Structure 1
C-alpha cells in the first residue's frame, strides 16, 4: 500500500494512521490533538501507532531489562502516555534499567557497504550532523516498515501524531506571531520537502528485497513523523565506541525511559553505567527524590526556551525561566527606543571612535559582528546589550576602562557609570520591550479571549499560548526594570 503524498505548502499536514502488525506497515496519515497539562501547555496526546500495541513494560523485562514494580504506563492522564508511580518510591531507587541491545540507534556512519542498514546509512550521510534527529528518524522508519522488527513492541506504542509546528496549518503557523520561530518552522518544512526528493532518487528503482523501507514510498510527511518522534524522545548518550575505537556521543531512542515527561524540577535522572565485559553502556533511571504514589516520573529535558520546547516537543512551559525574546541590535531601533523613553543619545547613529572600540569588543561593531540580543532568560537582559547602552550613554572612556566590560555587562552591578547613565539605560530597555510588544498584531486580552473560545483547533490554541508567553515575558522584564529605575538613588 503506497503512502499518500504531501500536499504543497510550507507546513506538513499529512500524518499517519495505525497499521497491522502482520502485514507491511504503511506510512499513511495521522491526526493531531493536544491537551493542557498542569505544568505544560499543549503536551501532545495521541493514540498509539498500533491499536493492539504489545505491553512495553513486559517486553523490556522479557529482554532482560528492569522495570520497578511500582511503575505503570498511564494513557488516561491529560499529558498522554506517561509513567506514573503506583506506590511510594524512595530517593535513590533504581526505576528502569535497559540492557545495551534495547536502545534504538543508527549504526555508525562509517559502517561498510555490507552492513544490513547500508542504504539507510548512505541516506544519513547526506544529512549534516545538526540534523541528527532526521538521521536517526531514517532508522526508525526502516524498523517501522520492517515486518518482525525487534523494536516493534516499542514502535507500536509511539503516537500516531506529534503536535509540533511542522504539522501546523499555514494559519496556525502565522498565529505564532514570532518571526524567529516561524523562520525555523519554515526552514524545517523546506528541508523535509527537499530531502524527500533525495530519498526518492535513491530508492525509486530498488526491488523490495533491497528497499530500506519495505518498498514503501517515503514522503515528507513520513520523514516529518520520524524526525518528530526522535526530537521528542531521543537522548544523546556518551561513551559509545565507534568503529575507529574512539568514544563519542550517540543519539538513541530509549524505550520506556522516553515515556517520562518533562519538568525543570525533575524527580528522576538518567544514569549511564559501563557494562562489564563490554565497551557499551547500560542506561538507568534513578529517583532523585521521594516519589509519592500517583506522581509522574519526570526528567529534565534541559534548560530550553519555549521556542525549542514547542519546535521539538510540542508544548511550552508557562513562566519558563529559560525563555527569552530575540531582538536585533540596530541603531534605528535604539533611536526609536530612546525617543519612546524620552531620553537623548546622539551616539546611537554615530558612536565616537572610543565607543566603537568598546562596541567591537562586544561584537556589535565590525565585519563579523553579532547583532542578536535577547530580553528575558536567567539574566533578564542580554549582558552585551546592557554594556553597549552604558557605553553609548557614557560621556568618556575613563570610567568604562575603570570598571571593565565584564562588570558593565551585569545588571546586578548598581549604576557603575552613575545614576543618570543607569536611568537612561534601563528606560531605553523598557522602551525596547514596548516596541517589541507593539510588533505583535494582537494584544494580551485578545489572546486570552481566543484561548477561552471553544471550537478553535488545539494547535491554534498552542500557537496563541506561545505568543502570549512571549508577551508576558516582555511585561515581566518591563516591570522588573521599571522597579529598578524607581529604586535608583
Structure 2
C-alpha cells in the first residue's frame, strides 16, 4: 500500500460461504502463528475526518445528529469520492460495491412489511425519514452557496444513501464512541463471527495506527474473521445486512406498561383471590416499587429485553418478573423492603402463590408478544422451505394465503423475525421450568400472590404491539 500500509499473509478472496456467509472476505495465504500481524494500517490510511479537513465539510458534518455517526462519515466518503483520482482513497473507493443488498433501509415495501417487528421497522423509517429530510432541506441547497464542500456537484438522496450504507457496513470506531469512525481499507473486508481468529489492535507508538493480528494459529486458506462486537441481530441486520442464527446476544425488546402486564394476565387467565379475572390497576405502593425498578416515573427506562445476555445467560428480564411480582401481590408486605436486586432475582421466588401468579402473567406477556406477529414460528419455517401458509385476515374475515419469500431481501426479513420468535419461545420454556420448580418447592411459603378483586373496565392494549423501540 501507499502511505506505509503493509499486508503480510492475507488477501482478498471470494469465500463462497466458507466464512458462514457468502461473497468476498479475507483469507490467509499461508500458515501464520498466533500474534502475527497480517495487515498494518497507519492513521494516514484511515478514511475518516478531523480538524485538517475542509471547514465547510466539518460544518456540514456537525449538522448530523450524534446518534447517526455513520452519516457523519458518509459525508466525508462522498467528498472523497467526488475528488476522483486526486483522492488518496481513490483506489479503495473504486472497489466499494455499487449496492448493498440486505440493508433494510433499501428494502422494497414487500420485504420491509415482512420484518413484522416494530423496533426494527420503526428504525428503518426513522433512517429513511432523515435521509429524505437531510437531502432535501440541507444538501439540495448547497450547490452554488458558500457552504458547499462538494464543488458545486449536487448530492442527492441516492448518493447519501449509498455512502451511509457503505459506512454502516464497514466503519470501525477504533478510537472509541466519542471520536469519529473510520473506514479501514482491506481490514474492513474481514467478515464477522462471535468466535474470531483475528482482531484489530492499536500499534505501539500511538499515532492512531492499527493492525490486523492473528488471535490464534491460522492455516493457509482459512477465512480471517473478526468479531464486530456482542451485537444483537437488530444491529447486524440494520447495519450489515445479515443475521446470526441463534445469536446469543439477540433480544426481543418490550416496552413496559401496566397494560402489558394486564394483557399477560388476561392471556394466562390469572385470577384474583375470589376467582375473578385479575385487575392490575396499580395502587400507590405498587407505583412506588415500579419507580424503584425504574419502570415508571420521570427517570424511567421502560425498555425490557428478553434474551441477549450471551451464552448461557438468563433469558428473562429480571425487571419484568419483578414488576409482575409487585403487581400480583395482594398485600404490600409480600414485596416491600426486598430491594431491587432481590425483586429482580429470577431464580429466587418470594412466595409460592405470588411466584406462580407472576410467572403466569409473564408467560402471558410473552405469548401476547408472539401473537402480535402475523405468522407463527412454525409457519415461518414452512415459508423458508418454499411452502405457502394460511393466516387469519385482519378483523377475523377468514384467512389469506402467504406465499414463500420471492427475493433474498424477503428471505432475510423472514429469517430475522423467526429468530425473534425463537427467543420468545425459549423464554416461555424458561417460565414453564420456573413454574414447575416453584410449584414443587415445599420450602416456599404459601403467601397469597393474587391481588384483591377490583372491578373495573378492561385496560387499553399496550402500544406498538407491546414491543419497544430499538435504536441501533
TM-score, scaled relative to structure 2: 0.81
Matched positions, count: 408
1:211 Cα deviation after fit: 5.9
Q: Partner of 2:181: helix, strand, or coil?
A: strand
Q: Partner of 1:375: helix, strand, or coil?
A: strand
* Alignment partners' CA distance in 1, 2:343 and 2:208: 46
2:367 to 434, 439, 452: 434
Q: How does 1:276-425 map to 2 (within 5 A)?
A: 280-344=207-271, 349-378=280-309, 379-401=314-336, 403-411=338-346, 413-415=347-349, 417-425=350-358
TM-score, scaled relative to structure 1: 0.78
The answer on whether the counterparts of 2:197 and 2:215 sit within 8 Å (CA) in structure 1 is yes
Residue matched to 1:19: none
Are 1:181 and 2:115 matched, yes or no?
A: no
Superimposed CA distance per residue, residues 363-411 of structure 1 (whole angstroms, 9 cap, x where no aligned partner): 2233443332222222312221121112222344445355321122121
* Alignment partners' CA distance in 1, 2:77 and 2:289: 50
1:146 to 83, 87, 91: 83
Are 1:235 and 2:172 matched, yes or no?
A: yes
Unaligned runs of 5+ in 1: 1-59, 241-247
The answer on whether the counterparts of 1:316 and 1:466 sit within 8 Å (CA) in structure 2 is yes
Residue matched to 1:29: none
Superimposed CA distance per residue, residues 274-332 of structure 1 (whole angstroms, 9 cap, x where no aligned partner): 53xxx622101211122233322111111211111111111111111111112222223
* Alignment partners' CA distance in 2, 1:399 and 1:448: 43
* Alignment partners' CA distance in 2, 1:131 and 1:365: 28
1:348 Cα deviation after fit: 5.7
* Alignment partners' CA distance in 2, 1:387 and 1:271: 41
* Alignment partners' CA distance in 2, 1:428 and 1:335: 8
Residue matched to 1:469: 419
* Alignment partners' CA distance in 1, 2:338 and 2:31: 54
1:357 Cα deviation after fit: 1.4
Residue matched to 2:398: none
* Alignment partners' CA distance in 2, 1:424 and 1:399: 13
Residue matched to 2:99: 161
1:347 Cα deviation after fit: 7.7
The answer on whether the counterparts of 1:103 and 1:255 sit within 8 Å (CA) in structure 2 is yes
Q: After the TM superposition, which parts of structure 1 deviate over 4 Å for at least 4 consecutive aligned residues? A: 345-348
Q: Partner of 2:139: helix, strand, or coil?
A: helix
Q: Partner of 1:284: helix, strand, or coil?
A: strand
Q: Partner of 2:44: helix, strand, or coil?
A: coil
Residue matched to 1:13: none
Q: Partner of 2:374: helix, strand, or coil?
A: coil
Are 1:101 and 2:44 matched, yes or no?
A: yes
1:426 Cα deviation after fit: 1.9
1:264 Cα deviation after fit: 1.4
* Alignment partners' CA distance in 1, 2:124 and 2:90: 30
Residue matched to 1:84: 27
Superimposed CA distance per residue, residues 432-466 of structure 1 (whole angstroms, 9 cap, x where no aligned partner): 11111111111223322332338711111111111
The answer on whether the counterparts of 2:255 and 2:303 sit within 8 Å (CA) in structure 1 is yes
The answer on whether the counterparts of 1:146 and 1:214 sit within 8 Å (CA) in structure 2 is no
* Alignment partners' CA distance in 1, 2:184 and 2:262: 51
* Range 304-313 or range 388-397, more displaced: 388-397
The answer on whether the counterparts of 2:143 and 2:151 sit within 8 Å (CA) in structure 1 is no
1:201 Cα deviation after fit: 4.1
Specify whether residues 373 and 470 from structure 1 end up closer, same or farther in structure 2 by C-alpha distance, changes over 3 A only. same
